[in-house]
């Protein structure tokens, strides 16, 4: 597609419910990132994929958070037993190049519009 697509756009979950958030990156983009953005805050890194390999998951706040990208394209962020503090916008970004590559002037990231998760 033309951009990074995230679904659903909005999700309301009852505390304790499991949720799955989907990210469709731009076709062919190698790198994929998930970020969590709390209200009034900047995005915070959660995890990073290079193709299907999850190379960095140091930002995942707890073992209730799990991300996968089994075929190196679509990624799913799953949150088990949601809690109120999980309420945030979850942003996905993708990039055509390896994140470890030498930085180039045209090396850009495209962000999705995010999924706003509200846990009640």
Residues that bind other proteins (CB under 8 A): 33, 35, 40-45, 48, 55-56, 58-59, 89, 91, 93, 99-100, 103, 105, 107-114, 116
What sections of the chain are H helices per DSSP? none
Neighbours of 50 (CB within 10 A): 18
Min separation Cβ 97 and other proteins, Å: 12
Q: Whose Cβ is closer to other proteins: residue 80's or residue 110's?
A: 110
Q: Are 87 and 117 in contact (CB under 8 A)?
A: yes
Min separation Cβ 58 and other proteins, Å: 8
Min separation Cβ 80 and other proteins, Å: 24
Q: Whose Cβ is closer to other proteins: residue 66's or residue 107's?
A: 107
| Angle ∠(14,16,21) on CA atoms, nearest 5 | 75
Q: Whose Cβ is closer to other proteins: residue 23's or residue 91's?
A: 91
CB within 8 A of 55, min separation 6: which ones? 48, 49, 99
Min separation Cβ 99 and other proteins, Å: 5
- Burial grade of 23 (CB within 10 A; 0-12, 13-18, 19 or more): buried
Q: Whose Cβ is closer to other proteins: residue 87's or residue 113's?
A: 113
């Amino acid at each position: 597609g033309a951009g990074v697509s995230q679904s659903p756009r909005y999700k309301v979950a009852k505390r304790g419910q499991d949720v799955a958030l989907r990210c469709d990156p731009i076709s062919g983009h190698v790198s994929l990132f998930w970020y969590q953005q709390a209200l009034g805050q900047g995005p915070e890194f959660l995890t990073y994929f290079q193709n299907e390999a999850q190379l960095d998951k140091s930002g995942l706040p707890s073992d209730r958070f799990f991300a996968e990208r089994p075929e190196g394209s679509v990624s799913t962020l799953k949150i088990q037993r949601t809690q109120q503090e999980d309420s945030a916008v979850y942003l996905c970004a993708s990039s055509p190049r390896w994140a470890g590559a030498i930085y180039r002037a045209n090396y850009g990231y495209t962000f999705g519009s995010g999924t706003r998760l509200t846990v009640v």
